[in-house]
Amino acid sequence: QNGELVTVRLTLTIPETTYYLLVEDHFPAGAEVVDISLKTSQQSAEPQYNPHAPFEQGWGWWYFGDPQVFDDRISWAVDTLPAGTYELTYQFVTVQPGEYRVIPARAYQSYFPEVQGNSAGDIFEIKE
Q: What is the CATH number of the domain that holds 35?
A: 2.60.40.690
Residue 25 is assigned to a structural domain of this protein: yes
User: pTM above 0.85?
Assistant: no
Is residue 45 scored above 50 in pLDDT? no
Is residue 113 scored above 60 in pLDDT? yes
| Number of Cβ atoms within 10 Å of the Cβ of 97 | 13
The confidence score (pLDDT) of residue 97 equals 93
Residue 52 is assigned to a structural domain of this protein: no
Beta strands in the chain (DSSP E): 5-14, 18-26, 31-33, 68-69, 73-81, 84-94, 98-102, 106-109, 116-118, 122-126
Average pLDDT of 16-39? 85
Is residue 53 scored above 80 in pLDDT? no
The secondary structure of 21-53, three-state, reads EEEEEECCCCEEECCCCCCCCCCCCCCCCCCCC
Domain containing 120 equals 5-43+58-126
Structural domains counted in the chain: 1
Instruction: Round to whole Å and give the CA distance between 6 and 9.
Output: 10
54 pLDDT tier (thresholds 50, 70, 90): low
Question: Between 52 and 117, whose confidence is greater?
Answer: 117
Residue 53 is assigned to a structural domain of this protein: no
- Mean pLDDT of all residues belonging to the chain: 83
In tens, the pLDDT along 76-103 reads: 999 999 998 888 988 999 999 999 999 9
Instruction: Round to whole Å and give the CA distance between 67 and 63.
Output: 12
Distance of CA 42 to the CA centre of its chain: 17
Residue 50 is assigned to a structural domain of this protein: no
